[in-house]
C-alpha cells in the first residue's frame, strides 16, 4: 500500500473543493469532531468567506459542548466562522416516543437535514459540505447501520429531498488518515485526537425511548465515564443508559460457569431493550445480557472466555454487560464502553482494571440519582457494534 501523504492530500483537496464549489456559497454543519472540522478547514481554505459553518445544538451533545466547540473552532489556527443554532426543541419533539434504533436514527437524520435545509435556504447556499469518511460508506452500504450522514449511497437524492448538493472532501480517507491531515493543518490536539462522536450524538446512547430525565442522567454519566476512562487512552470510551430497571420484561437465562473460570456463581438476565450488533458483516438487533458475577472479579482473559461461552450457547446475544456497581431500588442502568481500534470496523475491548470500573460506578451512582446499576460492556466488534444503536 502506498504511504499516505497528508500534506499532498490537503493541497490537492483544497484545489478540488474550490473547483467543485466555484463561486457558490456553501454550508457545513460542524460538530467539533475531527471529520467535520477538517472538512470545514479545507473548504474554508478553498472558498474563504463563501463558507458558513453552523453548529446545530440538537440537545444530544455532551455537557458544555456547543460553547467549547465554538470557542476552539473560532480560535487560531482554524478561525472558522461558527454560528450555534438552537434546535433542541425540534429534535426532542421528533424523537418523542420512538424506541426502535433504526427508526430513531432515520428520524434524527431527517430532522438534521431539515434543520440544515432551512439554514441553507436562509444563507442562500446551494452546497452542503460533509465530513463523510470511507468507513461511513462501507458500513452503510454493507447494511450494518444507517449512518446519519449518508444520503446518496442509500438512494436519497439530497437536491430533491432537501434542496442542496453535497460535497464530501474526505470520502476517500479512513479516520487515522483524517487525523494526519488534522495534524498538518495544525489543529489543537483536543480536536485532532478527539475520540469519534456519532452524528446522532447521545441519542444512540440513550437506548430505547429518549426522555428528558434519561437524557440528563446520560449526560452526567458521560462526563464521569470520560473523566475516568480517558487516562487509559482507548480509541473510544463512553457511557450509555438503559432502563428504567427492573422491567417485568427482563428474563433470566441459565448460565453455565466452566470450572476453569473459578467463579462460585453467576446470574444472567436478558434485557428488555435490544442493541445493534454486527454478525457475518450484517447489522443485527440482538439481545443484551446483564451478567452478575456475585462479587467475583475475574481477569480480562477469563471474562472474555465467559462471554464467548455465553454467546456460543445463545447466538442471539450481541452484548454482554458485566455488573460493576449497584444500589438498592429501581432505576436506570448505565453501561460503560472502552474499545481499541484503528479503523472502527472491528474493535477490541480495553482491559480496564476492576478498581477503575468500581470508581466510575461509585461516582455515577453518587451523581446520577436515577441510576441504580452500572455495567461494563465486554463485547468486541463483531458481534457488537461500538455504539448501542
Site for ligand XMP, rule CB under 6 A: 139, 144-145, 147-149, 196, 198-200, 236, 344, 381, 385-387
Beta carbon of residue 251, minimum distance to ligand XMP (angstroms, whole number):
26
Record the cell numbers describing residue 180, joined without a space.
494526519
Of 149 and 335, the one with the shorter C-beta distance to ligand XMP is: 149
Of 149 and 372, the one with the shorter C-beta distance to ligand XMP is: 149
Q: Answer for the pair 44, 192: CB distance below 8 angstroms, yes or no.
A: no
For every residue of 128-154, DSSP letters joined together read EE----HHHHHHHHTTS---TT--GGG
Of 18 and 340, the one with the shorter C-beta distance to ligand XMP is: 340
Record the cell numbers describing residue 289, joined without a space.
445480557
Beta carbon of residue 167, minimum distance to ligand XMP (angstroms, whole number):
17
Of 17 and 132, the one with the shorter C-beta distance to ligand XMP is: 132
The set of residues, in sequence order, having a beta carbon less than 8 Å from that of 130 and lying 6+ positions away, is 28, 29, 36, 39, 149, 166, 167, 168
Q: In terms of Cα–Cα distance, which of 356, 122, 385, 111 is closest to 231?
A: 356
Cβ atoms within 10 Å, residue 15:
11
Of 237 and 375, the one with the shorter C-beta distance to ligand XMP is: 237
Furthest-apart CA pair in the chain: how many Å? 71
The packing angle between helices 212-229 and 354-367, to 10°, is: 150
Beta carbon of residue 171, minimum distance to ligand XMP (angstroms, whole number):
13
Strand runs labelled E in the chain: 26-29, 51-57, 82-86, 127-129, 165-167, 236-245, 251-253, 267-279, 282-292, 317-326, 331-340, 348-349, 371-377
The packing angle between helices 6-21 and 34-47, to 10°, is: 60
Beta carbon of residue 215, minimum distance to ligand XMP (angstroms, whole number):
17
Beta carbon of residue 328, minimum distance to ligand XMP (angstroms, whole number):
33
Beta carbon of residue 220, minimum distance to ligand XMP (angstroms, whole number):
20
Beta carbon of residue 124, minimum distance to ligand XMP (angstroms, whole number):
27
Beta carbon of residue 383, minimum distance to ligand XMP (angstroms, whole number):
11
Write the secondary structure of 164-232 as one string of H (helix), E (strand) and C (coil). Answer: CEEECCCCCCCHHHHHHHHHHHCCCHHHHCCCCCCCCHHHHCECCCCCHHHHHHHHHHHHHHHHHHHHH
Of 65 and 387, the one with the shorter C-beta distance to ligand XMP is: 387
Of 344 and 375, the one with the shorter C-beta distance to ligand XMP is: 344
Of 292 and 377, the one with the shorter C-beta distance to ligand XMP is: 377
Torsion over CA: 67, 73, 79, 83 (sign): negative
Of 52 and 149, the one with the shorter C-beta distance to ligand XMP is: 149
Beta carbon of residue 321, minimum distance to ligand XMP (angstroms, whole number):
16
Amino acid at each position: 500500500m502506498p504511504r499516505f501523504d497528508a500534506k499532498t492530500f490537503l493541497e490537492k483537496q483544497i484545489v478540488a473543493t474550490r473547483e467543485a464549489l466555484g463561486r457558490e456559497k456553501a454550508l457545513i454543519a460542524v460538530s467539533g469532531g475531527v471529520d467535520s472540522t477538517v472538512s470545514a478547514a479545507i473548504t474554508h481554505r478553498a472558498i474563504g468567506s463563501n463558507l458558513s459553518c453552523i453548529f446545530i445544538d440538537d440537545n444530544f451533545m455532551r455537557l458544555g459542548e456547543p460553547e467549547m466547540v465554538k470557542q476552539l473552532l473560532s480560535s487560531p489556527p482554524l478561525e472558522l466562522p461558527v454560528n450555534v443554532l438552537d434546535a433542541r426543541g425540534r429534535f426532542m419533539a421528533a424523537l418523542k416516543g420512538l424506541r426502535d434504533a433504526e427508526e430513531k436514527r432515520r428520524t434524527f437524520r431527517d430532522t438534521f437535514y431539515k434543520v440544515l435545509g432551512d439554514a441553507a435556504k436562509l444563507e442562500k447556499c446551494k452546497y452542503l459540505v460533509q465530513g463523510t469518511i470511507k468507513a461511513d460508506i462501507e458500513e452503510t452500504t454493507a447494511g450494518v447501520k444507517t449512518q446519519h450522514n449518508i444520503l446518496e449511497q442509500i438512494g436519497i437524492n439530497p437536491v430533491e429531498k432537501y434542496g442542496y448538493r453535497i460535497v464530501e472532501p474526505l470520502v476517500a480517507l479512513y479516520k487515522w488518515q483524517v487525523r494526519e491531515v488534522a495534524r498538518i493543518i495544525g489543529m489543537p490536539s483536543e480536536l485532532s485526537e478527539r475520540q469519534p462522536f456519532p452524528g446522532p450524538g447521545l441519542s444512540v446512547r440513550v437506548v430505547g425511548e429518549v426522555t428528558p430525565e434519561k437524557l440528563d442522567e446520560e449526560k452526567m454519566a458521560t462526563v464521569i465515564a470520560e473523566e475516568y476512562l480517558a487516562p487509559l487512552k482507548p480509541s473510544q470510551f463512553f457511557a450509555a443508559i438503559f432502563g428504567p430497571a427492573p422491567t417485568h420484561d427482563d428474563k433470566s437465562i441459565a448460565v453455565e460457569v466452566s470450572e476453569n473460570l473459578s467463579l462460585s456463581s453467576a446470574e444472567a438476565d436478558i434485557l428488555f431493550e435490544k442493541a445493534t450488533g454486527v454478525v457475518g458483516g450484517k447489522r443485527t438487533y440482538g439481545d443484551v445480557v446483564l451478567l452478575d458475577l456475585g462479587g467475583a472479579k475475574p481477569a480480562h482473559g477469563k471474562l472474555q472466555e465467559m462471554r464467548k461461552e455465553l454467546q456460543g450457547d445463545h447466538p442471539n446475544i450481541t452484548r454482554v454487560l458485566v455488573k460493576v456497581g449497584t444500589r438498592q431500588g429501581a432505576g436506570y442502568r448505565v453501561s460503560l464502553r472502552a474499545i481499541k481500534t484503528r479503523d472502527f470496523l472491528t474493535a477490541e475491548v480495553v482491559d480496564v482494571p476492576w478498581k477503575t470500573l468500581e470508581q466510575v460506578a461509585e461516582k455515577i451512582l453518587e451523581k446520577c440519582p436515577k441510576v441504580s446499576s452500572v455495567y461494563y460492556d465486554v463485547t468486541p466488534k463483531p458481534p457488537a457494534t461500538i455504539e448501542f444503536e
